[in-house]
Structure 1
Amino acid sequence: PFKGCLYFGLMLTPDGPKVIEYNCRFGDPETQVVLPLLESDLLTVMEATTNGTLDKTDVKFSDGAAACVILASGGYPLAYEKGKEITGLTAGQLNAADVTVYHAGTAIKDGRLVTNGGRVLGVTATANTLPEALKKAYAATESIHFDKLHKRSDIGARALAAMQ
């Protein structure tokens, strides 16, 4: 029997939501907006899943919202360069409450943090509302730099439009 997390990705279309994928893993950036809202202990939830007691486990999420902006290497998902130094992540440079930066395609080379993949960083912010979370996430990306950094400017735009 399957024990784990079943994730499905949806695409909003003019005919309504359509399933585009199923996964039985924690994917990124999807998980990067779910876990910050989890109030329950993740290990407790995972152990309950494994031992078949999840139905007896209290799983709680906060009522707020989260948004994640991926900082990618220029050229991603096709050809992209690695080894570009990343700056702006040290204490004092990234002054944003409720922001988490997830490393996806990074490495340490000669004592420096550098790019090492297409999806480099996931910058996730939480707030009371989606517009606030998006504003915080985008603001936090402004202090992070590397050569040929690419980020989409439309993350959350459809959700915001649907809210209006």
Structure 2
Amino acid sequence: KRAFDGDKGPNTGGMGAYKDADDKLPFLTAAERECELELAEKIFERWAAKINDNTALRGVPLYLAFMHTGKGIKVLENNSRPGDPEIINILPLLKDDFVEVCFRILEGNLKRVELEKAAAVLTYKVPPTYGGYADAFPERVDKTKVDTPVDLSRAYALAEKYGDRIRVYPGSMEVRDGETYALKSRAVGVLGIGASIEEARQISLEGTRAISGGALWNRTDIAARQHIAQSISHMEQLRRNL
């Protein structure tokens, strides 16, 4: 969520996200993940018991953000739509046909979806005004590139090297006079998919480096080994306080 490397700077909508090849993040234990699922099920059942028409529960009725504390797991937020950027790590790994999933949603019989066993890392590139970057690091902003067209062609071309293991997702952008420009929010996300988080991360970063123009910038430590190690250490400390 923080704008700058090392989890510094203001909160943002999310500078990136990652998932491991299995069903839990590397800093969680299997028991903690199971506890999250049980908590989500309990919330859903209580909600469903109060609703006569279950059509209100179709789609993605629960998107939960959990916060692990020294006093146990807390629900930070509960949304009725997928989260950005987290969902971008999930949908490309969907083994089920997405249209079939949508039909099952409409029919009210979607029980589960199957995902590929792969890791995914998404990194967002954003304009210099986003997150106060230009104010915090004016020396890093090439003022000659501000508000210039953004070239995504070299990032798209990496599909020749990686195939479906790299995806480029334009976000807050617009086309003017045949050129693509970044707007004020997260401009473009690059997703890397691999057998490990580090492999996926390197693909994602290669894609971000291939994007030029607009003086766009990105965090370089999304899913980095040292960043994950800090999360693991933090969780170990929280467990000692339980």
Length-normalised TM-score, structure 2 = 0.58
Structure 1 range deviating more: 151-160 or 28-37: 151-160
- The one-character-per-residue Cα deviations of 1:128-156 (angstroms, maximum 9, x if unpaired) are 11111111101111110123312112211
Tell me the residue number matched to 2:174: 107
Q: Deviations over 1:31-80 (max 9, x none)?
A: 1101111111112112212211113xx62110111110011111214699
SS in 1 for 2:153: coil
Q: Provide the C-alpha distance between the structure 2 equivalents of 1:141 and 1:17, rounded to a whole number of angstroms.
A: 34
Structure 1 equivalent of residue 228 of structure 2:
160
- What is residue 183 of structure 2 aligned with on the other side? 116
Cα deviation digits, residues 86-135 of structure 1 (max 9, x gap): 11425546654111011111111111111123100010011111111111
- The AA in structure 2 aligned to 1:126 is I
SS at match of 2:57: coil
Aligned 8 A contact 1:65 1:130 in 2:
yes
3-state DSSP class of the match of 1:108? strand
Deviation at 1:10, TM superposition (A): 3.5
Report if aligned partners of 1:105, 1:115 keep a CA contact under 8 Å in 2: yes
Distance 2:203 2:180 in 1: 23
C-alpha separation in 2, matches of 1:122 and 1:51? 32
Q: Which runs of 4+ in 1 moved over 3 A?
A: 10-19, 77-80, 90-96, 157-160
Structure 1 residues 124 and 8: alpha-carbon distance in aligned structure 2, compared to 1, 3 A threshold: same
* Long gaps (5+) in structure 2: 1-55, 135-145, 234-242
The alignment of Structure 1 onto Structure 2 pairs a total of residues equal to: 161
Query: Which is further off, 61-70 or 6-15?
Result: 6-15
Aligned letter for 1:124? L
- Indicate the structure (1 or 2) with the bigger Cα radius of gyration: 2
Aligned equivalents of 2:73, 2:227: Cα separation in 1: 12
TM-score by length of 1: 0.82
Contact 1:7/1:24 (8 A) holds in 2: yes
Can you give the 5+ residue segments of structure 1 that lack an aligned partner in the other structure?
A: none
8 Å CA contact 1:70–1:151 kept in 2: the answer is yes
- Per-residue deviation at 1:14? 6.5
